[in-house]
Amino acid sequence: MGPGEVLGMFSKYSGGDWQVVFVSQDGGPAKSFLGSRVMADHSFADCPELDVIVVPGGFGTRPESQNPKMVAFLEEQGKRAQFVTSVCTGAMLLHSAGFLEGRRATTHWGAIAELKGLGGDVTVVDDERWVQDGNVITAAGVSAGIDMSLYLVSLLKDAATAQRVQQMMEYYPKPPVFEAVKA
């Protein structure tokens, strides 16, 4: 959801140069692990060529990384995309589609060992919020996905546009400081 907001805001200020679309296998709605529903704009069959791919994370990535239709769709679209990206455990899907071979990548801290365990020639990084290796960018988790998406906007357009998107979202992370509760 975070990268969707960043890229959606970017598309609003791009003067029509960029458009965000959501894709599902059959073109129907997708439901997240936490219950949010996203309406798809396209199915795999009618999806136009994508310039940027953002693969979301979550618990659904494990079974989808074994879905031959999903993997084939990512492989085919990713060959022509300017950037192929993932948030959180979306890196598992990029691994299945072959995009992490010979590259550095990251994922959610709770899935680092799992990504390492998938094998192949991928260097799994556990101390960076997002990792760019060529045209593949992987982000650790939700807030890292927002940060990665703002960085992506700077690559697609420029730093001033990324700063404007950040300002419009009023995204200036200042996490609260939690005090220990005394019993």
Residues with catalytic roles:
88
Q: Which residue in 163, 108, 115, 114 sits closest to 130, CA to CA? A: 108
Encoded tokens for 58:
């979550």
**CB-based contact 94:86 (threshold 8 Å):** yes
**CB-based contact 109:141 (threshold 8 Å):** yes
**CB-based contact 73:111 (threshold 8 Å):** no
Cα separation of the two ends of the chain? 37
